[in-house]
Structure 1
């Protein structure tokens, strides 16, 4: 294997752009990407973006149909860094947590876990039910990483694109990859600037702060 490889699954949760942008960042890093898009994700793509399927699949090194459980990435012999599901729906999370995959995303995730590779699920849902929390716990106990796309306000994002990039930069950190898009704490600006930020020296109280 000459190039590093990463499997990318896009499921039907809101946040299709996370998967698209991840593919772009991997291309910039010269990482070979293997893409799977669920049927539900195609509906989300149409509702949330102006992308066409052909445009998205062109961003990946290789595209695999969601029902192609005979694809190379469905086997443990497929060598790669691991897998990211961006975003990860609660249905996909449940399939991974219980090992009852109905398609290639679940199977590839199952393979990632059994081979002890890094699996990152950008779980996208709120509020969370007890079933969701238990499934997240199950995946974590199996070695997976639950990484919801949470904005980092210390980075002072000025656009949705910056918020997306920061979340994906932190996900790529988990694979030892630096895309240069994550703002590091205290590396680019001092968190105490003006207004309420001046209070961060220790004067915030504990009953509301």
Structure 2
């Protein structure tokens, strides 16, 4: 899992906690700005995330997850900045985050990118198209409102539930459309 400097760290933090609660082994890579934005928006640092996941330095290209021989179910980058998205879309693998993403793409594993940007410019859209054509799922942080959320954590859970669904991970984060409580 990657966490970058885009706003929306609550989604990343909520996903890490949900994966931990579901018993899913999770590895986290945060960019320098990802760490700063998470601290600013959520008051959470990498020290706190160690409780839920294995944390990797973005500069450690020798980490296990930088190799295709290390088996994973997939990768999620949430939130994903346009800088990181552009680097991955253009094959730049100079950090552990971008290298791990490249590995996920070449191994044809689940790869979900959750951009939290608006509006998109043409370069953003072309980079997203390039990633989608390479097998990535582009899932903008656009929570629904049909479940009538009244608190911010309900919006975060909505997006995290969608991410877990795309990864094929069973959960009960929210009531599904048509289900009765």
**Match status 1:69 vs 2:61:** yes
Q: Which one of the candidate residues 107, 113, 120 is aligned to 1:128?
A: 120
Q: Which one of the candidate residues 130, 139, 142 is aligned to 1:150?
A: 142
Matches within 5 A, 1:17-56: 17-56=10-49
Kindly indicate whether structure 1 or structure 2 has the higher relative contact order, using CA contacts under 8 Å at least 6 residues apart.
Answer: 2
Question: What is the Cα-based RMSD across aligned positions, in Å?
Answer: 1.2
2-structure distance, mates of 1:40, 1:152: 27
Structure 1 residue runs of 4+, over 6 Å off?
A: none
Tell me how far 1:45 sits from its aligned partner.
1.8
Tell me how far 1:52 sits from its aligned partner.
2.9
Matches within 5 A, 1:76-91: 76-91=68-83
Is the contact between residue 35 and residue 57 of structure 1 (CA under 8 Å) also seen in structure 2? no
Listed one character per residue, the Cα deviations across residues 135-191 of structure 1 (whole Å, up to 9, x for unaligned) are 1100000000001121111111111100100111011101111221133222237xx
Is the contact between residue 9 and residue 86 of structure 1 (CA under 8 Å) also seen in structure 2? yes
2-structure distance, mates of 1:38, 1:57: 16
Structure number with bigger Rg:
1
Corresponding residue of 1:195: none
| Unmatched 5+ stretches in structure 2 | none
Listed one character per residue, the Cα deviations across residues 38-66 of structure 1 (whole Å, up to 9, x for unaligned) are 10112202321222321123221x11101
Q: Which one of the candidate residues 89, 92, 111 is aligned to 1:100?
A: 92
Tell me how far 1:21 sits from its aligned partner.
1.1
**When the two structures are aligned, how many residues end up with a matched partner?**
181
Q: Which one of the candidate residues 155, 164, 168 is aligned to 2:156?
A: 164
2-structure distance, mates of 1:90, 1:179: 29
Is the contact between residue 12 and residue 42 of structure 1 (CA under 8 Å) also seen in structure 2? yes
What is the TM-score with the length of structure 2 in the denominator?
Answer: 0.96
Q: What secondary structure does 1:148 align onto?
A: coil
**Match status 1:114 vs 2:106:** yes
| Unmatched 5+ stretches in structure 1 | 1-7, 190-209
Tell me how far 1:14 sits from its aligned partner.
0.4
